[in-house]
Structure 1
Amino acid sequence: MPVRKQQKVAIVGAGRVGTALAYALLIKGPAREITLANRTSERAQAEAMDLSHGLSYVSPTRVAGGGYEMCDNADVVVLTAGAAQKEGETRLDLVRKNAEITKKIIPEVLSRSPSPILIVVTNPVDVLTYVALKESGLPASRVIGSGTVLDTARFSYSLGRHFEVDTRNVHAYIVGEHGDSEVPLWSRANIAGVPVDEYGRLRGMDVGPEFRRKMADEVRTAAYHIIERKEATYWGIGLAVTRIIEAILKNQHSVLTVSALVRDYYGISDVCLSLPSVVGQNGIEAEVTAKLADEEVEKLRDSASVIQDSLRSIGYSGREYHRAAASG
């Protein structure tokens, strides 16, 4: 399948996350056009002007800012607008106010780009991905949440630092909610194909239960520590979402832990959460299924329950997912 020709990315929200994403996109170069749409159009115009002044040093790219007209005929529309997570808040504390913002944005976007790939970044991302899916009416494959792509990168970083290996050679995933109930898949984690437990033993390094608890806590609480020290996270998520967009615009068929609608995965259905998925030009092209440890399955079901409860609190009940044991 050919690579998209237009390669326009529209970012809704010119706050810290939106501008960090625009900056990362500009440097990485997967898009030929980057636009920023913001409620205060002057802010978006100023950010676009600032970014444009560095165009001599990157690949040829058009950068513009304004209102919702910036979403015209976009290949990919990224939703970053919403209330930011404050110190002491969980991502799920944001659900009601950001769900209302998302519901207002969707028709504005679709009136200008009738069939884009939507990427939801605003938190709580799994809940808002479901809201965007239901409100847009787009195929499930074209509504993607940034999910645990950043959490997975944090996991690989922490393991790489512990074992003193290049993070790019660590293959380990975080699934479930992008939040406190996220699930590290220790049963699938490996370094250059060697399971983490075996690699640790070969190196004479700790891989016991306390090590696993510490690594999982480090990943799960990373955002809280950053927010406590500098009010917000944005550089990491900017790079993570750029990776998703690169997979789409370059049709890379990359395996990424994006959030998307789940249909009968270990008995979980009708909720958006993160699982390893193949991402390409058409959005989500396939789900990568793997046998998980029993403990991981139970934690994943619990994570789905957290998201489902949050959806019910804002009137998106959906179907109950089944907690009965599932084969596979």
Structure 2
Amino acid sequence: MLGEHGFSEFALWSHVTFGCLTPEELEAQTGVTLDRDALEMQAVRGGYTTMAGKACTEYSIANGTVAIIEAILGDTKLVTPVSTLVEGVYGVSGHYASLPCVIGAGGVEKVIVPTMTPHEQERWQASCRHIEENIAKVSW
């Protein structure tokens, strides 16, 4: 999931694989039909589902934090989406949003900019506009 951590985040379906199969290949070879919109909405609302079931979300946040700390302490070069400063990514700069990054001893050591379809670029820009709108609402 890329972009904002919230309702405007989106799945980068052009880079999703199941094993080594694209969603289209999976569907063609197995007959399994993926409801991409429903799967994406489940990911977007995952925190709310966890909150409703456990009355907290800190365990999943802690698990993600542990993975990042292990990558830093072990200099493992973990590639994972994290919120990072965006500079010149599909026309967006100057705020933080989720992109794949290499995490090592230096923290975010490299921001990876995936190739996005035109539709994904639109969703990226919309998610980043949402972030910018929320920043503008904050009174300093």
TM-score, with length taken from structure 2:
0.93
- What are the Cα deviations for residues 242-272 of structure 1, in whole angstroms up to 9, with x where unaligned? 1111111100111110101000000110010
Which has the bigger relative contact order, CA under 8 A and spacing at least 6?
2
Write the distance in 2 (CA, Å) between the matches of 1:289 and 1:222: 25
Amino acid at match of 1:275: L
Which residue in 2 is equivalent to 1:251? 75
Which residue in 2 is equivalent to 1:112? none
| Residue 24 of structure 2, aligned match among 197, 210, 214 | 197
- Over the matched positions of the two proteins, sequence identity in percent amounts to 29
Write the distance in 2 (CA, Å) between the matches of 1:204 and 1:239: 34
Question: Matched residue pairs, number?
Answer: 140
Which residue in 1 is equivalent to 2:55? 231
| Residue 101 of structure 2, aligned match among 254, 270, 277 | 277
After TM superposition, which residue ranges in structure 1, 4 or more long, deviate above 2 angstroms?
228-231
Which residue in 2 is equivalent to 1:290? 114
- What are the Cα deviations for residues 126-180 of structure 1, in whole angstroms up to 9, with x where unaligned? xxxxxxxxxxxxxxxxxxxxxxxxxxxxxxxxxxxxxxxxxxxxxxxx1001101
Write the distance in 2 (CA, Å) between the matches of 1:231 and 1:266: 38
Q: How well do the aligned residues superpose, as a CA RMSD in angstroms?
A: 1.3
DSSP 3-state at the match of 2:88: coil
1:218 corresponds to 2:37 = no
Write the distance in 1 (CA, Å) between the matches of 2:108 and 2:46: 27
Amino acid at match of 1:196: P
Q: How does 1:128-143 map to 2 (within 5 A)?
A: none
Write the distance in 2 (CA, Å) between the matches of 1:312 and 1:221: 24
Task: Note the C-alpha offset of 1:235.
Answer: 1.7
Which residue in 2 is equivalent to 1:185? 12
Amino acid at match of 2:6: G
Write the distance in 1 (CA, Å) between the matches of 2:24 and 2:68: 30
Which residue in 2 is equivalent to 1:306? 130
- What are the Cα deviations for residues 100-142 of structure 1, in whole angstroms up to 9, with x where unaligned? xxxxxxxxxxxxxxxxxxxxxxxxxxxxxxxxxxxxxxxxxxx
DSSP 3-state at the match of 2:92: coil
Write the distance in 2 (CA, Å) between the matches of 1:247 and 1:184: 24
DSSP 3-state at the match of 2:103: strand
Structure with the largest fraction of strand: 2
DSSP 3-state at the match of 1:263: strand
Structure 1 unmatched runs, 5+:
1-173, 317-328
DSSP 3-state at the match of 1:237: helix
Bigger Rg, structure 1 or 2? 1
Structure 2 unmatched runs, 5+:
none
